[in-house]
Amino acid sequence: MQLYKSRGFSEYFGDTFSFLKANGSHFFKHYFIVTGVFLLILLVFGYFVMQFYTEFLTSTLNNNSTNVFEEYMNNNGGLFILFLLVFFIIALFAGVISYGYMPIYFQLFTKNSGKNFGTSEIVNAYKKHIGKLVVFMLAGILLGIVLMIPIAIAGFLLIITIVGFLLLPLLIGLVMLLYTGTLIEYLEGKKGFFDCFGYAWKLITTKFWAAVGCVGIFYFMSYVTQQIVSLIPYIFGMASMFTTIEQGNNDPTQVVDSMSIVMMIVFFVSFIVGAVLGSIVNINQGIVIYSLKEENENINTISDIDLIGSGD
């Protein structure tokens, strides 16, 4: 499949699914190999967060004191803060690794004219770009702080009306596409971060509604799908818990334990489904950006002309 290709709105959708059909197994196989360790660490941290919440809730139910949380923090405050700090650092690093996977994969996919590469090539690409990924993370956070006010205002104006609320995914799609386009261009190594951000905006505005609309719709479909999938174990778990209560088992500790199991299952399912769906949305963004780059730079056209010249 050719990534550098001029596309319209419907082709953004069609080629995303075509890419998944032809290369999805290869993409996700190496995605979980490369990011699996970090995802597992986050799952383990999530488990301990649930354990903390369960312990706190049980203490609250078994103790009529209103200062349970204060007492708990006095006894475990240092450990809790350290836990949150380590979790934040690992989550931030894992997020960068996960977010950088699609741009790196697409870069190798283009370089090798398909999926003729493996984990070692992907890891080497990460090593090559690790500095840029760190700079992107830090600069992206600073840029996000600057953009937070206009984005919040735009979001507020959209949600106060029914029609505007329906357009909210487009605002989210615009922000996502700007950051993804910036990272893809930044990893090319030809421009600085802010120049890449400006170029990403230039690309998007050439087909603004088609590009932003497609990504916004993909995000909305991903969000709804994740909520539905996460809701299934929650419904079964809550039904089981209420059945236990109706049978006369009113022990607060057992009720909390049942609820914590439900929350744990929902968390695990949401986490894995969210990772997969998030990657699919990233693939769609990559398809859109590569298409816009082709229309602005004629990369594939120039390459074909060079091949014809070399054949002569």
- For 23-79, the DSSP string reads HHHHHHHHHHHHHHHHHHHHHHHHHHHHHHHHHHHHHHHH---TTHHHHHHHHHHHH
What's the length of the chain?
A: 312
Domain count, the chain: 1
Give the pLDDT score at 61: 56
- 245 has a pLDDT exceeding 60: no
Give the pLDDT score at 309: 44
Give the pLDDT score at 122: 95
Distance CA(207)–CA(211), nearest Å, equals 6
Q: Supply the pTM of this predicted model.
A: 0.84
Angle subtended at Cα 285 by Cα 306 and Cα 113, rounded to the nearest 5 degrees: 35
Quick one: pLDDT band at residue 53, thresholds 50, 70, 90? low
Q: What is the 3-state secondary structure (H, E, C) of 189-227?
A: CCCCHHHHHHHHHHHHHHCHHHHHHHHHHHHHHHHHHHH
Quick one: pLDDT band at residue 240, thresholds 50, 70, 90? low
234 in a domain, yes or no? yes
Give the pLDDT score at 251: 59
85 in a domain, yes or no? yes
Domain span including residue 158: 9-303
Mean per-residue pLDDT for 58-82? 64
The upper half-sphere exposure of residue 259, i.e. CA atoms within 13 Å in the direction of its Cβ, equals 13
74 in a domain, yes or no? yes
Quick one: pLDDT band at residue 312, thresholds 50, 70, 90? very low
96 in a domain, yes or no? yes
**Residue 65 contacts by C-beta under 8 Å, 6 or more apart in sequence?**
71
312 in a domain, yes or no? no
Give the pLDDT score at 272: 85
Distance CA(1)–CA(21), nearest Å, equals 11
311 in a domain, yes or no? no
Tokens (6 digits) for 266: 């929902």
2 in a domain, yes or no? no
Distance CA(272)–CA(140), nearest Å, equals 25
- 307 has a pLDDT exceeding 50: no
- 10 has a pLDDT exceeding 70: yes
Give the pLDDT score at 56: 64
DSSP 5: -
Distance CA(67)–CA(54), nearest Å, equals 17
